[in-house]
Chain A
């Protein structure tokens, strides 16, 4: 089920995208325009259901007349704008962002990133073996999900999902500064001691696998996680009358994780602890 936008029709504005005069609805971002035009841009911190954080800068494009590059995910198209998505400067910035992340963060469970590394010629190894990383032990403080901040690119999506954009739980925040910036509850408290309600909406939006179902984390550690052997079945959550859609990821006849379609008109991918984690009864 796809959400249908309501509201007055927006006027169309014209701009030049990679040399082609293009029409978009007023208020659209460069990224939206690129998607309509079939121009692919890499994105990492961008989430379909969240306000753009424009933090990773991997989607930067050139806007004529601007001194610096602009993030396609958040920059709105203006009439007459001349945008170039593929130039020496944009390719260099994308390569460097990918190298910076690849050399400091474990991207082994980040989708698409290997392809982009190849496409942009990124080589994270050239910073040497002594390059600083965010490597740290996995945080396992509850039975439902783990936090492996060695894989965190600081996209802010988990925080945005936890605070006012979706869940309004306010359990986590960005803390610290600079390279030491990280996601944490107050005083880095364990999740069961924090305001966390275990809705798992942070897992839903995490683009790198830093936040992961305990079941998936355990199976990956054991070497039994096999996405090719998994089926995904959509069903309706049985717990209450809201009617959230669940996407059950099943391997060997066992539910291994529960997600929710982000284009769902009722919940936009969000669930509560029951829908997200309360599936054991199905197996019993």
Chain B
């Protein structure tokens, strides 16, 4: 390959940044490189996203010189590296200020004026700081939210909850270092410390950095029991539990595990999908921040049961605290020989790497995750083949959402049948809901499937009276609205379906009658336009046309037939898009029209 690299030279800082990840460069040709024993082209390529992060963390953007140096070292053509870097919204390919304040303007934040906050403060942007809009930061319980990131030798990020113009200006001036006081975990978990919790029992109660606290509260008993009963029994219990995926698609977990376990190919991979980006969703963030060892333990059980040797946590880039807590948990687990070789003397090997996303909703799609980890653009693959046969690095791969995985702990400890006895026939166990919007106590709630929406909202401090309630968005931007008269619907997969909605990722966004529904729908349309990967025509152009029509219907000038055209656009996105993003990009807008009479 006779590749030509950009003429620009990397700066000393950029070389240092790459050295710190890849080792000091001594040889000038990429193909001769030995990255500490990494020779395989595929392994080198999968360092691409981490290397882009290293450059971006150091100087705040990806320069021509930096990209050229990275391409040489990883033996990736510069055009391809550019194609990957330009895919992610957290990377800038033009020189920008080293400090960025991301102000969330998505659903829950929009309801409390996140967009106005951005407007008010954006003019402060100058050569030393950027203040820019962000899609949902996954901090809806602290809306409006912001995130400040400082590039430099010691890159640092801090989340800002209940942001005000004052706190955003402070972040712009002083950076992440000024935000050392972290919101307590319990603030996001109103039920913290209550009896009867299963998934949330440790949140806000134990020190998330302490494995001893974790063990004192039952931690690693499930892994011990899993090892004692053996891999096949573990899968039987998960199957008996009727656990289904909590990421939105509700696929039976036992079937997925059994399919991966039965694959003869080696190695097999386990991917924990922690790219929580559905607007309104924050449950996985809270679980990872508040109970990181539970994520590690449940992944270890899944790996033991299915024969996976390497695990990845694909974590969205905007979750700095979750990343810190997970990295700590992994390091501590390794030191206690709960990760690595011969775990618990049971003769199995498993380790976990945290893979940091870089701002792309689409990378929560299970096959887009594979491309992202492998160092390619995070575009979804077409299925078949399915991940259980050919997933990450074309090997059998188990992909489960964070919440799905942590359900495994009570299943192993209490048995699959006991788990299945909670909830309803079609929806077993408990479910985490991300309650935000017009409620007194927003946060993550755990309730058994079958509790009604009204009951959940009463737990969250009550909801506006029927006259003030406009609707509840269930399932996020890819979900749908329910009307005030449907408030007694049971929160189950089947109950939501019967109401024409979906539980999706557990979003419960309460919208009162003071809310500007038109603005909310414009934002949802803009979100999908921004987040479409652009691979297939129905989604790439359809999300743009949808936004144009929603704009006309809400701001004008309205044209005859616009509503019918919107329905046609929605239909082709549903029918012919490659992946779930395009297939659900019209759901919330359509349900607002049908259920709430919006846009009429």
Interface residues of A (CB under 8 A from B): 54-58, 60, 68-69, 71, 74-76, 89, 92-93, 96-97, 100-101, 103-104, 126-128, 130-132, 153-154, 163, 168-181, 184-187, 189, 193-195, 197
Judge whether B87 and A57 touch: CB under 8 Å.
Answer: no
Least CB distance, B288 to chain A, in whole angstroms: 26
- For window 342-396 of chain B, which residues contact chain A by CB distance below 8 Å? 360, 377, 382, 384
Would you give the shortest CB distance from B355 to chain A, in whole angstroms?
19
**Segment touching A, from B411-419, B455-463, B469-477, B533-541:** B533-541
Q: List 20 A-B contacts (CB under 8 A).
A: A54-B382, A54-B578, A57-B577, A68-B583, A93-B576, A96-B569, A100-B538, A100-B572, A103-B541, A169-B1, A170-B3, A172-B79, A177-B87, A179-B541, A179-B544, A184-B82, A186-B68, A186-B81, A186-B82, A195-B79
Which A-B residue pairs are the 10 nearest by beta carbons? A181-B534, A173-B83, A170-B77, A100-B541, A96-B572, A186-B78, A186-B82, A93-B576, A178-B532, A173-B79
A177 x B534 contact (CB < 8 A): yes
Q: Assess the A104–B541 pair: CB atoms within 8 A.
A: yes
Q: What chain A residues lie within 8 Å of B533 (beta carbons)?
A: 177-178, 181
Whether the Cβ atoms of B576 and A127 lie closer than 8 Å is no
B429 within 8 A of partner (CB): no
User: Shortest beta-carbon distance, A155 to chain B, in Å?
Assistant: 10
Residues of B within 8 A of A (CB): 1-4, 6-7, 64, 67-68, 71, 77-83, 86-87, 89, 93, 360, 377, 382, 384, 529-538, 540-545, 548, 559, 561, 565, 568-569, 571-572, 574-578, 583
Would you give the shortest CB distance from A69 to chain B, in whole angstroms?
5
Main secondary structure of the interface of B (DSSP, over half): helix
What is the CA–CA distance of A153 and B541 in the complex, to the nearest angstrom?
10
Residues of A within 8 A of B78 (CB): 185-186, 195
Which residue of B2, B80, B542 contacts A100 across the interface (Cβ within 8 Å)?
B542
Given contacts A71-B382, A92-B571, A92-B572, contact A131 B545 (CB under 8 A): yes
Question: Do B572 and A93 touch (CB < 8 A)?
Answer: yes
- A180 touching B571 in the complex, CB below 8 Å, given contacts A127-B548, A194-B4, A195-B3: no
Question: A178 contacts B79, CB within 8 Å?
Answer: no
A-side contacts of B83, CB under 8 Å: 173-175, 184
Q: In the complex, which residues of chain B have a beta carbon less than 8 angstroms from the beta carbon of A187?
A: 6, 64, 67, 82, 93
**Closest Cβ of chain B: how far from A195's Cβ, in Å?**
5
Let me know if A178 and B377 touch, CB within 8 A: no
Q: Are B6 and A97 in contact (CB under 8 A)?
A: no
Closest-CB distance, A44 to chain B (whole angstroms): 8
Chain A residue nearest to B87 in the complex (CB): A177
- Which of chain B's residues have a CB closer than 8 A to the CB of A197? 2
Q: Which of A75, A130, A185, A193 has the most CB of B within 10 A?
A: A185
Rounded to whole Å, the gap between the CB of A164 and the closest CB of chain B is 10
Check if B540 sits within 8 Å of A181, measured CB to CB: yes
A68 to B581: give the CA distance in the assembly, Å: 13
Besides A97-B576, A131-B545, A173-B82, 16 other A-B contacts (C-beta < 8 A) = A54-B578, A56-B536, A57-B577, A69-B575, A71-B382, A76-B384, A96-B569, A127-B545, A128-B559, A171-B77, A175-B86, A176-B86, A184-B79, A184-B82, A186-B64, A186-B67
Given contacts A56-B536, A57-B536, A171-B79, contact A177 B544 (CB under 8 A): no
CA distance A197 to B578 in the complex (A): 33
Chain A contacts for B542, CB-based, 8 A = 96, 100
Q: Which residues of B contact A168 (CB under 8 A)?
A: 1
Nearest CB on B from A247, distance (A): 27
In Å, the complex CA distance between A257 and B427 comes to: 64
Chain A hits for B7, CB < 8 A: 193
B273 to chain A, nearest CB (A): 20
The residue that A68 contacts in the complex, of B93, B541, B569, B574, with Cβ under 8 A, is B574
Q: Are A126 and B565 in contact (CB under 8 A)?
A: yes
**Contact A69-B576, Cβ < 8 Å, known A56-B537, A100-B545, A180-B534:** yes
> What is the CA–CA distance of A237 and B571 in the complex, to the nearest angstrom?
50
Please indicate the chain B residues that have their CB under 8 angstroms from the CB of A181 in the complex: 533-535, 540
Once the chains bind, are A55 and B535 in contact (CB under 8 Å)? Answer: yes
Most A CB within 10 A of own CB, among B82, B541, B568: B541
Is B531 a contact partner of A170 (Cβ separation < 8 A)? Answer: no
Q: With a CB–CB cut-off of 8 A, which chain B residues contact A57?
A: 536-538, 576-578
Q: Nearest-CB distance from A239 to chain B (Å)? A: 19
Give, as a whole number of angstroms, the nearest-CB distance from B91 to chain A: 11
Give CA–CA (A27, B1) in the complex, Å.
32
Q: Which of B71, B79, B360 is in CB contact (< 8 Å) with A194?
A: B79
B116 CB to closest chain A CB (Å) equals 26
